[in-house]
Chain A
């Protein structure tokens, strides 16, 4: 998955789910926690969005600010998860062909 596309989809979800006033802006590297945009319940919504939309599983040890605390970090995490899935699928396919 293209990281820029991932960032756009995540931004759209954030803006639609967590109400912003028109004056507010959110940079890709703004911390959700520091900006007060998402609390711990909101993170559950974000995790549900990622799992349902992209058919991934966010493990307990992955549900950390390093992975989820900004649009940029979520996009990077998502890209890694999806690229990782793609690589695993490719490796599995190679094994079956062998």
Chain B
């Protein structure tokens, strides 16, 4: 690591016009020529990432050749659909509502999730809400062990550490949501001969903040190379509705609102961006410390967390393993 190099947030500034043209050219080449598809399907959640992807795809392919899909379910915030519709209207793009709660109910998503939560909080039942959270990993050197926060109908909250069985049960059940959404997106892709756009940003892609074969599945991912703060810069340039730009990032996965910090990063996204950039650029913890507002020890801790999550993300990214490589012209 370089002890003498320092870093600041100006390194995250992009030329949005130039970056837009680069991504637009890539989308056009990928969808029309490489994949030989006629357009793109985008699942729009009302969040900034999917909104920016929708705007980029519309610019690249024309609005009439994108299909926006809204896939709310029981735990979705009403704002998600409202803001998603705002994006579709701003683009004049075809949009369809596919409420996936009945599919999730039939698959036992909510029942399995609730059974897993009850392993930790037996009182969890009708009228209760929940979310899973991490401890503050910046305060001390500790493991990223999830707790569940349950809120009773009268508003009282209780937080309980999840056992392995409960944690894996909650995550496995909740993953039905992202996989069902992707199933719906590919239905439209198959019917329309469109390609499915993935919407992860660099932090999510790098750190495994996605569900394997859920939102991790896509035919192309046009913003996977962008840090979150760069996605915001593009959003402003592209004219994504202001309210979408201002909305705090949320997982929109649990009945209690859960920030992405609470679920995964334990740091504000702006700081995570700088830490990821610092790590990739080989900046020492001491060199990054001032720019990110953390002590060098905290930066070291974040660097270790980044490494640990990258290791876990390898499984999420991995293609199927074959016994022997196959010589096949269809394979690249």
A: residues with CB less than 8 A from B are 33, 36, 39-41, 43-45, 47-48, 60, 63-66, 68
Contacts and interface: CB of A to CB of B under 8 A. Distances in A.
9 closest Cβ pairs, A-B complex: A44-B164, A40-B144, A64-B142, A43-B143, A40-B143, A45-B164, A65-B141, A60-B161, A63-B143
B236 interface: no
7 contacts: A33-B304, A39-B311, A40-B308, A48-B163, A60-B135, A63-B161, A66-B141
A39 B163 CA distance: 14
A52 to B, nearest CB: 10
Interface in B113-168: 135, 140-145, 147, 161-164, 167-168
A73 to B, nearest CB: 12
A41 B167 contact: yes
Given A40-B143, A60-B135, 14 more contacts: A33-B308, A39-B312, A40-B144, A40-B308, A41-B164, A44-B167, A45-B164, A60-B147, A60-B161, A63-B145, A65-B141, A65-B142, A65-B143, A68-B143
Size class of the B contact interface (CB-based, 8 Å): 10 to 19
A36 B167 CA distance: 21
Given A41-B164, A44-B164, A48-B163, A36 B143 contact: no
A41 B164 CA distance: 6
A39 B308 contact: yes
Contacts of B168: 41
A48 B143 contact: no
B249 to A, nearest CB: 22
B158 to A, nearest CB: 14
B138 to A, nearest CB: 14
A44 B312 contact: no
B209 to A, nearest CB: 14
A43 B141 CA distance: 14
Contact of B164 (A33, A48, A63, A65): A48
Nearest to A59: B161
A60 B142 CA distance: 9
Contacts of B161: 60, 63
A40 B145 contact: yes
B170 to A, nearest CB: 12
A60 B160 CA distance: 10
Nearest to A62: B142
Given A41-B167, A44-B164, A64 B135 contact: no
A33 B311 CA distance: 11
